[in-house]
Amino acid sequence: MATGWPPHLFLVGCGNMAGQMLHRWLACGLDPDRVTILRPSGRPVADGVRVVTAYPDALPQGTTVMLGMKPHQIADVAEQLAPLCTTDTVMLSILAGTTLADLRARFPSARDVVRAMPNLPVGIGQGVVALYTDEQASSAGRTEAGALMAPLGLCEWIADEALFNRVTALSGCGPAFLFRFIDALARAGEAIGIPPEQAARMAMATVQGAATMAAAQENPATLADQVASPGGMTREGLNVLDADDRLLTLLTDTLEAARDRGEAMARGH
């Protein structure tokens, strides 16, 4: 068995995010025979992966369970899944707004419970995964969770669960905000007279190249100033973005809105 793979992986739900995670794990060598997915529709997910429409009578010893359904389904899921969990069950949750205390209350037999918040690029191994657990979790469970997440991209353990919704706003929601920016950059190019399809291609390549360069070299703020010659075109454009910190203010407002929604979800609203 490849290092990092659990003896068995039981996925409850397999939507966009869980599907991306599974796609990456399989591409990295996870044996599909070790995976079972509970999916009411019964639709197949990947070659060799077993899909069931009802809970099994028992889970194999050492099973890692990942909750990947909609957060509002947690009560119904816990009612049927909790009796199957034992002290050697590692419970991973990617449910936004569902606290560790809530998970522990619903799955009291599972000693190792870990919250994980991935973002969509995990499917290509370039994602970000925030992880959180508490002192009740064993070092082995923590290690197993971290090893499973490692092929997905950057993994960051969060020391304080109070930060979880803030981290989710940044990295979990962030790809959607960047997708919106890429689209807006292309549409702005179209607005100043560039043919639409050409503007879209150029915007995408510009963002991709700039992100690769930023990751490999200095911090983005320094790179921006290097591109901008005094009195030049780039500087004139940056003057618009920088005026009254308008870009920073916009993004801060965006992340605060996402964070606040996560905290409201945690309160059951």
Same domain, 65 and 143: yes
The arithmetic mean of pLDDT across residues 84-97, rounded, is 92
pLDDT of residue 265: 79
The winner for highest mean pLDDT among 165-179, 182-196, 251-265 is: 182-196
In a domain, 225, yes or no: yes
pLDDT in tens, 146-187: 999 999 999 999 999 989 889 989 998 999 999 999 999 999
In a domain, 169, yes or no: no
CATH code: domain of residue 29 = 3.40.50.720
> Which residue did the predictor score with more confidence, 93 or 2?
93
Same domain, 12 and 97: yes
pLDDT surpassing 90 at residue 33: yes
In a domain, 2, yes or no: no
- CA-CA distances (angstroms) from residue 91 to 5, 64, 100? 14, 6, 11
Buried b (16+ CB within 10 A) or exposed e, 140-179: ebbebbbebbebbbebeebeeeeebbbbbbbbbbbeeeee
pLDDT surpassing 70 at residue 1: no
Ordered strands of the 153-157 beta sheet: 50-52, 35-38, 8-12, 63-67, 90-93, 112-118, 127-132, 153-157
* Contact yes or no for 262/165 (Cβ under 8 A): yes
Q: Rounded to an integer, what distance in angstroms lies between the CA atom of residue 269 and that of residue 21? A: 28
pLDDT in tens, 203-228: 999 999 999 998 887 788 889 988 88
* Average pLDDT value over all residues in the chain: 92
pTM: 0.84
Same domain, 125 and 17: yes
Closest listed residue to residue 116, CA positions, set 64, 180, 58: 64
pLDDT in tens, 106-144: 999 998 999 999 999 999 999 999 999 998 888 998 999
In a domain, 168, yes or no: no
Same domain, 155 and 257: no
